[in-house]
């Protein structure tokens, strides 16, 4: 049992998983992305922040249309795109390793049989698209570099914020895969730590469709592991602190379409499989500080042709 300071009240969090037992407070940003002092206090206490009505319906539809178009043009002969968050087998796959500066589609693990034949329609077979949508696709670029997001990063104190990674996550009906408990800083490590995740709900995210879960307040305990390249192989290197995530204290973050969830790089979070007949589309961005050191042994590397760009309004 523990308590979390928030704007409206002290929120009681228990280890039961009843969705009625706990809610993180929700906030709004002003028209240029500014946050209230209450929102900033909640962010500092919880390591995550739920902002309602960040994306309007037009923006959501445009992102979904753009993702659907990419899938429609995806060359289905590439069977190396199988993505598994359970085993990290994908890590040994060059298709994944070299996707940091490209737009690539990754299959749901259960979308193909052992021979690589599709078990579901093509448009329901993709787990995610990654990892440089924000720099290579005009629709995602326009959304990602909007002034409100730049201001938000400024409000959260990220020095010289740069967009490092983007993903469109489908969480397909019936086969949308689980994402194990993890900290984003394990995968996008910087020194000092700076990675911050932005998770935009393009559809309702519910317990039924596999919403995010998190451990509010546990972002202060450091990183449990690091995913890095050693002798040409990507491995997960564990540290002893913290030894576990206290996963039974997880809090579901059910949010309606249009919400934004901001996630501290050391906050443990997770999402369950989607066994429902609805999809649960989301778009995610990860920003880092341009003043932090980005190690050469991180999995995500970008070629010199695509340097990281500052998160400020772009002129057109
Ligand atoms: Fe994550």
Q: What's the CA gap between 85 and 107, in Å, rounded?
A: 11
Q: What is the 3-state secondary structure (H, E, C) of 201-240?
A: ECCCECCCCCCEEECCCHHHHCCCEEEEEECCEEEEEECC
Q: What's the CA gap between 84 and 229, in Å, rounded?
A: 18
Ligand 1 mean position to 210 CA, how many Å? 14
Ligand 1 mean position to 150 CA, how many Å? 20
Ligand 1 mean position to 20 CA, how many Å? 24
For 294-305, write each residue's pLDDT tens digit. 999 999 999 999
Q: What contacts 23, CB < 8 A, 6 or more positions away?
A: 11
Ligand 1 mean position to 316 CA, how many Å? 32
Mean pLDDT to the nearest integer, 53-77: 94
Ligand 1 mean position to 183 CA, how many Å? 6
- Note if the bond before 257 is cis, omega within 30 degrees: no
Q: What's the CA gap between 235 and 21, in Å, rounded?
A: 38
Residue 6 — very low, low, confident or very high, per pLDDT cuts 50/70/90?
very low
242 to each of 1, 7, 172, 219, how far by Cα in Å?
18, 28, 32, 11
- Tokens encoding 79: 């069977």
- Tokens encoding 283: 């778009």
Q: Are 46 and 216 in contact (CB under 8 A)?
A: yes
**DSSP string spanning 83-138?**
--TTT-GGGG-HHHHT-TTSEEEEE-GGGB-TTS-BSS-GGG-EEEEEE-HHHH-H
- Tokens encoding 36: 């209230």
Residue 15 — very low, low, confident or very high, per pLDDT cuts 50/70/90?
very low
Residue 17 — very low, low, confident or very high, per pLDDT cuts 50/70/90?
very low
Ligand 1 mean position to 247 CA, how many Å? 15
Query: Which of 14-18, 152-156, 164-168, 253-257 shows the lowest mean pLDDT across its residues?
Result: 14-18
Q: Classify 171 in phi/psi space as left (phi over 0), alpha (psi -120 to 50) or beta.
A: left
Q: Are 52 and 75 in contact (CB under 8 A)?
A: no
Which pLDDT score is estimated for 72?
Answer: 93
Ligand 1 mean position to 106 CA, how many Å? 16
Helix (H, G, I), strand (E, B) or coil at 274: strand
Ligand 1 mean position to 287 CA, how many Å? 12
Per-position b or e across 263-299, b if 16+ CB within 10 A of its CB: bbbbbbbbbbebebebbbbbbbbbbbbbebebeeebb
Q: Are 162 and 128 in contact (CB under 8 A)?
A: no
Q: For the CA atoms of the chain, what is the radius of gyration? A: 19
Ligand 1 mean position to 27 CA, how many Å? 21
**Does residue 256 have a pLDDT over 60?**
yes
**Better pLDDT: 242 or 278:** 278
Ligand 1 mean position to 226 CA, how many Å? 13
């Amino acid at each position: 049992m523990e308590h979390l300071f928030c704007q409206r009240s002290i929120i009681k969090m228990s280890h039961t998983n009843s969705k009625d037992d706990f809610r993180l407070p929700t906030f709004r940003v002003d028209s240029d992305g500014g946050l209230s002092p209450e929102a900033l206090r909640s962010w500092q206490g919880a390591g995550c922040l739920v902002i309602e009505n960040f994306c309007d319906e037009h923006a959501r539809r445009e992102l979904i249309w753009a993702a659907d178009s990419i899938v429609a043009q995806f060359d289905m002969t590439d069977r190396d795109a199988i993505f598994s968050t359970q085993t990290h087998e994908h890590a040994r796959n060059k298709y994944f390793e070299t996707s940091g500066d490209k737009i690539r589609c990754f299959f749901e693990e259960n979308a193909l049989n052992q021979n690589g034949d599709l078990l579901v329609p093509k448009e329901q077979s993709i787990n995610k698209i990654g990892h440089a949508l924000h720099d290579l696709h005009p629709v995602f670029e326009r959304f990602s570099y909007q002034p409100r997001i730049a201001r938000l990063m400024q409000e959260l104190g990220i020095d010289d914020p740069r967009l490092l990674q983007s993903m469109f996550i489908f969480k397909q009906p019936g086969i949308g895969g689980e994402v194990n408990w993890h900290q984003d800083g394990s995968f996008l490590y910087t020194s000092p730590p700076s990675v911050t995740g932005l998770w935009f709900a393009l559809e309702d995210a519910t317990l039924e469709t596999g919403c995010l879960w998190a451990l509010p307040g546990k972002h202060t305990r450091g990183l449990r592991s690091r995913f890095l390249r050693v002798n040409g192989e990507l491995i997960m290197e564990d540290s002893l602190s913290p030894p576990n995530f206290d996963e039974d204290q997880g809090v579901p973050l059910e949010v309606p379409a249009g919400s934004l969830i901001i996630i501290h790089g050391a906050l443990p979070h997770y999402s369950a499989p989607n066994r429902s007949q609805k999809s649960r589309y989301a778009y995610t961005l990860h920003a880092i500080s341009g003043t932090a050191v980005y190690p050469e042994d991180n999995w995500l590397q970008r070629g010199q042709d695509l340097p990281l760009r500052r998160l400020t309004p772009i002129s057109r």
